Every structure is written in structure tokens, then in C-alpha cells.
Amino acid sequence: MWAQLDDADAADLLSLGAPRRYPPGRVLIGQGERSDHVILIRSGQVKVFHTTEDGREPVLGVRSAGDLVGELAALEADVGGRGATVVAMGAVEAQQISAAQFIEFLNTHPAATMALLRMVVGRLRSADRRRVEYGGFETTSRLAHLLAEFAHDTDSGDVGSIEIAASQHELAAMIGASRESVARALARLRDEGLVESRRRGVVLLDVDALSRHGR
């Protein structure tokens, strides 16, 4: 959403709320928590996951600088507890904005309202596409498309500078695969020169090739 705002609207949004810093592993929003504030990620990455009744924790997505999290709770009155947990994957700087401030901002900044709508629609399309790919692509292609999707959601377009701070276990949860199959898929993508593995994640070297993988 942040990248779609003009300088004036972006400055107005950033002026709201209060700055927050979160160390790796810190929970920004907890599933079931009764709150309605919005968090704007200024730097770093967070993962969003839902804990099921049987204890599984499927990852719903990874959000990076410029992304909003918690916006649906701000827009839905009396929705109950939060539907997912948001955790810092590394050091995160963010802006915590109250629901009242966020709604007033949208009411007075129509272009920002459209940007929010496009962001929500994009996430829905991404979720639909991922469900289709579960059955239509093998693990390496599913992983390649997921990594490319992350890249397109970040502000940086520099080749070799996009690092996804996600573990193999987290990537496996996002594409419905085992950690072992994701490890093999990463090895293939490294052999093809599309990614590099780092201690805390994956660096993307050729986003276009990742997007085309297996198509």
C-alpha cells in the first residue's frame, strides 16, 4: 500500500500513531487478541500465521516494509478477536495507528482508500492463485512463484538485494509442502542461479525467472 501513495498521503499516514520497535520473535498482534489498531511496517519483515485447533500453524503470508497488518480489524466493528498472529522475523520498525485515526485518514484521503482496496484484492488473488498452484505445480515451481510474489510485494527492485527472512519450515507451511521437499527445491533454485541461501533466509537473484519457473 505504501508504494502506491503519493508523497503527501504517505507523510500524513506516517504522522499518525506512535513508532514501535520489535526484536526478532516479538509478537506484534496475537491471535484472539481484542484490539483494532493497525501496524504499518517501516522496516523489516513479519510473518502472519493462524494457529489451528490441532496446534498447526499455517503461515498466511510475509509482510515487508510498506505493508499494513491488522487493517481488517480496524475496518470491522465488533468482529471479535484477531484472526491471526503477527510475529517479527527480524528486527522490525513500525508505526502503530489506532483504528479511529486510520479510518479518519481513509475518509480524508480517497486515493489511500483505493490503495488499501487494491492491496486487499491483491492478497485475495494471491491466496486464490496459491491454492490453484498447490495442485498444478510441483514443489520447486510453487516455491519459486512464492518467492517472486514476496519480491513484488517489497519496495526494492534491485537484483540481489531482496532477502526473504523465512526459514525452510515457514516456506514449507506457506506452500503446503514438507521441509525436506523445500530444502531440495531451494537446492535446485540455487543450482539454476535464481537464489542464494543465507543463514536467516533466502536472497533472490532473478525475480523474473522465478516468476516464470515451471510455466
Q: CB-based burial of residue 189 (10 Å sphere; 0-12 exposed, 13-18 middle, 19+ buried)?
A: buried
168, part of any domain: yes
List pLDDT tens digits, range 46-57: 988 888 888 777
Residues 59 and 153 occupy one common structural domain: no
List pLDDT tens digits, range 11-36: 999 999 999 999 999 999 999 998 99
Cell 479511529 maps to which residue? 100
CA distances from 60 to 9, 103, 173, 188 (A): 28, 25, 9, 24
Average pLDDT, integer, range 175-195: 91
Among 37, 8, 38, which Cα is nearest to 112's? Answer: 8
145, part of any domain: yes
Residues 110 and 45 occupy one common structural domain: yes
List pLDDT tens digits, range 126-179: 776 666 655 557 889 889 988 887 776 554 444 456 788 788 888 887 787 888
CATH number, position 186: 1.10.10.10
Residue percentage of the chain with pLDDT more than 70: 88
Residues 60 and 164 occupy one common structural domain: no
Residues of the domain holding 79: 2-117
Of 84, 117, 150, the residue that ends a domain is: 117
Among 69, 66, 64, which Cα is nearest to 30's? Answer: 69
Higher pLDDT, 69 or 153: 69
Residue 188 pLDDT greater than 80, yes or no: yes
Total number of domains in the chain: 2
Q: CB-based burial of residue 28 (10 Å sphere; 0-12 exposed, 13-18 middle, 19+ buried)?
A: buried
Q: Which three cell numbers stand for residue 182?
A: 523445500
Residues 28 and 112 occupy one common structural domain: yes
Helix (H, G, I), strand (E, B) or coil at 195: strand
The C-alpha R_g of the chain, in whole angstroms, comes to 17
Question: Vertex 119, ends 115 and 121: CA angle to 5°?
Answer: 115
Residue 98 pLDDT greater than 90, yes or no: yes
CATH number, position 41: 2.60.120.10
Measured in degrees and rounded to the nearest 5, phi and psi for residue 90 equal -155, -165
Residues 106, 98: contact at Cβ < 8 Å?
A: no
Residues 146 and 112 occupy one common structural domain: no
Residues 35 and 71 occupy one common structural domain: yes
pTM flag (> 0.75): no
Predicted confidence band at 198 (pLDDT cuts at 50, 70, 90)?
confident
Residues 81, 72: contact at Cβ < 8 Å?
A: no
Residues 94 and 32 occupy one common structural domain: yes
Residues 103, 113: contact at Cβ < 8 Å?
A: no
Residue 106 pLDDT greater than 70, yes or no: yes
